Amino acid sequence: MPSDEGVERAGGAPLSAAGLDLSQLPVHKDERQVELDVQRSFVAWDIDDRPVRRQQLDTLIRSTLRRHPELHYFQGFHDLVAVVLVTLCPSTAAPWPSDACYACVQATVDRLSLAFARDSHAADLLPVMGQLKIVRNIVRAADAPYAYALENAFYPNHMLVALPWLLTLFTHSAPQLYAAQRMLDYVWASGPTSTLYVCAALLLARKAALAARAAKAQRGIETLDSAELHHALAQAPEVLGDDASLSALLTHAAELQRDYALRCPAVHAHTVLGEESALFTWDPAYLRLDDARRILTLPTARIALDPMPTPHDEAPMPVPMRAPRVTDVLRGMLRLHVRRHRRLLFSTLSLLVSGGVLGLVVALLWAEPRAGAWRFLSQP
């Protein structure tokens, strides 16, 4: 669990609930969107004293953004912070039960933002698009025909149905608070890479349902309308509400991560996202928060190397057969003759060249019988 040492003011002094004064920090450009999202929070869950929770949530997010202005807010971040808040601070005592409680929650939010969800906090969505492409590669590695069917249905776009899963680490899509907490616990223990494998496992788990839907229309999955397919896959996180199904999903995700590591040839995540991506730099044993803030100032092209969707390699088209022409036969005979009779060929060429030179001399003598022609031949 994070300690309060990770929570600092802009000037470096430890930050406590009692000493928190956001008015001393510059306003972040995204705070208007934060305000709107906070007002929509804590609706799906049975939460006591929503006004207090929303005030705490607003404080956590604005504090993180103002102390780390390199972060760009994304919609759905409030869902992620809300789960952290109610998990680490069960009490709704206003404004905070204690300084230690606030410091613990704030340190966790900072770590999630700067280490786990940093790709989502970039200036644009290109790093997250790269993560979607890696999810596609994992599904390809596990079940190529099914992956190609999904790609054909969604192309030229990514499988954007997984976008909220990645952005919020499933905290937005989980049907129950317990499921969101368990998902966040799994990601916190395994790293942000695990989210990609959970996404892949969830897509693979829907194969039978999609095949049945397509079979009713006597079609293949690839022929389903992208909107219809998106709607069907968007219901996938409902399985997270069942404890047994969630356990099976996480087990499958762990198996995928074991069998198809990020850098394996089938996934090749390092060619999609650069080494500065959160997927490769999240480990607190190696990442300092100053390094994370520096990475956030880099152009996203340094992080997203090849994020856009690309169609899978098509099989080469067969060359149509045609009747052989005479020139084809002659070329084949010549190639065969060259391979078998190289010496004879060289002798023949020598005779042809000699005969050509002799013919040229005779022609000159015939055309110029006077002495001028002999002088021409006698010249060096």
Q: What CATH number did the domain enclosing 14 receive?
A: 1.10.8.1310
CATH number of the domain within which 183 lies: 1.10.472.80
For 94, 121, 148, 242, 310, the CA distances from 314, given in Å and listed in that order, are 61, 35, 11, 40, 11
Q: Does 160 share its domain with 194?
A: yes
Q: Is residue 311 part of a domain?
A: no
Are 87 and 147 found together in one domain? no
Determine the residue type at 358: L
Q: State CA 339 to chain mean position distance.
A: 53
Q: What is the pLDDT of residue 5?
A: 42
Residue 157: what pLDDT?
85
* Dihedral sign computed on CA atoms, order 46, 48, 66, 276: negative
Picking from 95, 116, 137, the residue at the C-terminal end of a domain is 116
pLDDT digits (tens, 9 = 90+) for 281-326: 998 777 888 899 999 999 999 999 999 987 665 433 333 333 344 4
Domain boundary among 302, 335, 367: 302
The answer to whether residues 233 and 294 belong to one domain is yes
Q: In the chain, what's the furthest Cα-to-Cα distance?
A: 126
Instruction: Name which of 203, 194, 202 is nearest 254 in CA terms.
Output: 194
Residue 333 domain-assigned (yes or no): no
Does residue 29 sit in the same domain as residue 160? no
Let me know whether 78 and 189 are in one domain: no
Q: Is residue 94 domain-shared with residue 133, that is, in the same domain?
A: no
pLDDT at 169: 92
* pLDDT at position 37: 96
Tens of pLDDT along the chain (380 residues) come to 444 444 444 444 445 554 567 778 899 999 999 999 999 999 888 887 889 999 999 999 999 999 999 999 999 999 999 999 999 998 888 889 888 999 999 999 999 999 999 999 999 999 999 999 999 999 999 999 999 989 888 888 888 999 999 999 999 988 889 999 999 999 999 999 999 999 999 999 999 989 888 888 778 888 888 888 888 898 888 888 889 999 999 999 999 999 999 999 999 999 999 999 999 999 877 788 889 999 999 999 999 999 998 766 543 333 333 334 444 444 544 454 444 445 444 454 455 545 555 555 445 555 555 444 444 334 44
Q: Which pLDDT value is given to residue 10?
A: 42
**69 and 179 fall within a common domain:** no
CA distances (Å), origin 355, targets 58, 77, 337, 362: 99, 89, 22, 11
Question: Do 141 and 18 have their domain in common?
Answer: no
CA distance 233 to 225: 12
Distances in Å between the Cα of 140 and the Cα atoms of 8, 35, 250 are: 44, 40, 19
pTM equals 0.77
Q: Name the one residue in this structure whose structure tokens are 């031949």.
A: 377
**Residue 337 falls inside a structural domain:** no
Contact (Cβ atoms closer than 8 angstroms) between residue 334 and residue 315: no
Give the pLDDT confidence score for residue 336 in this predicted structure.
43
The helix/strand/coil state of 65 is helix
pLDDT in tens, 243-252: 999 999 999 9
Could you give the CA distance from residue 192 to residue 167 in angstroms, rounded to a whole number? Answer: 11
Instruction: Please say which residue of 94, 116, 138 terminates a domain.
Output: 116
Identify whether 307 is part of a domain. Answer: no
Residue 97 lies in a domain: yes
- Start-to-end C-alpha separation, the chain: 98
Range of the domain at 160: 126-302
The verdict on 183 and 205 lying in the same domain is yes
Q: What is the pLDDT of residue 360?
A: 53
Structural domain includes residue 201 = yes
Residues 9 and 111 in one domain: yes
Cα(101)–Cα(352) distance, integer angstroms: 100
Question: CA separation (Å) from 116 to 29, 77, 103, 335?
Answer: 22, 12, 19, 64
Look at residues 150, 371, 192, 173 and name the one whose alpha carbon lies nearest to residue 287: 192
How far is the CA of 370 from the CAs of 45, 267, 364, 380, in angstroms?
A: 116, 84, 10, 19
Give residue 213's pLDDT.
85
What local confidence, expressed as pLDDT, does residue 367 receive? 53
Domain shared by 217 and 351, yes or no? no
Structural domain count of the chain = 3
* Entry field: residues in the chain: 380
Q: Is residue 180 part of a domain?
A: yes
Is the domain of 109 the same as that of 153? Answer: no
Q: Record the tokens describing residue 332, joined without a space.
A: 């084949």
In a domain, 308, yes or no: no
